Every structure is written in C-alpha cells, then in structure tokens.
Amino acid sequence: MSPVALKTAESWACEGCGVTVSWMDGHRGPLPDTWAHDEDGPHCLKCRRELAAEAALDAAPHESSREARAKMRRASLIEFEVRRTPDRPNNTIARACHASAVAVAAARERIESKATVSG
C-alpha cells in the first residue's frame, strides 16, 4: 500500500523497532516520507534497511562464509537505497550505507541490467 493511500494519524509507530513519530498539538499527518507501510504495518527507514539486508541473508546459501554474507548484506543495502532514492548522487548514498561510491555505481549497473533483462 502506498503512503499516499494511507490515512493520516496523530502518530505512527514502527512495527520493527517501536519508534514513534507524532505532530505537535495533536495534529494528524501522513506516514513520514522515509517510512513505508506493508502488510506488517509501518516501518521506519532504519527498519526498512534492516529488512532489505535480512532478505539478502535469508536468500544466501547456508554454507556461505561470513565474509560472503557480509558482502551480500552490504550489496542488498546499497541496492535498497538506490531503488529508494534513485536520483540521489552515488556519494550521498555511499555515505548513508558506509560504502564507496564505486560500490553504489556497481549496484546501479546491477539494477539496470536486471531491469533490461526483465523488461
């Protein structure tokens, strides 16, 4: 469900970590821009990032080394950020992910090649 389709609320609570956002004087507001609402409820950006990273680890072969799993987690996080904010510069996304701009550029290429193959 898109944030636009959601109603407003006096506060929103993240289903992942429990953090809440609210508006002064009891005003109602939409889901914050960096949050998303899915079948499990609303999730803050931190939890959305963590869910993306966990999904990559869940898909990893069980026998993957610790180093390989760390690389998969980082790549998934970077791809999440590129998809979330495709217009942001590579260096900005890299800072958010504690990665290099080169890694972000590589993630963009992976995403574009997946889109070309499926589209």
What is the reported pTM? 0.80
| Percent of the chain whose predicted confidence (pLDDT) is above 90 | 74
**36 - beta bridge partners?**
43
**41 - beta bridge partners?**
38
pLDDT at residue 46 is higher than 80? yes
Q: Distance between CA atoms of 104 and 75, rounded to whole angstroms?
A: 9
Confidence of residue 3 (pLDDT cuts 50, 70, 90): very low
Distance of CA 15 to the CA centre of its chain: 15
Q: Distance between CA atoms of 48 and 77, rounded to whole angstroms?
A: 10
Q: Which of 7, 35, 11, 9 is nearest to 21 (CA)?
A: 11
Q: What is the largest CA-CA distance in the chain?
A: 53
Distance of CA 111 to the CA centre of its chain: 15
CA torsion sign for 99, 102, 103, 107 is positive
pLDDT at 4: 44
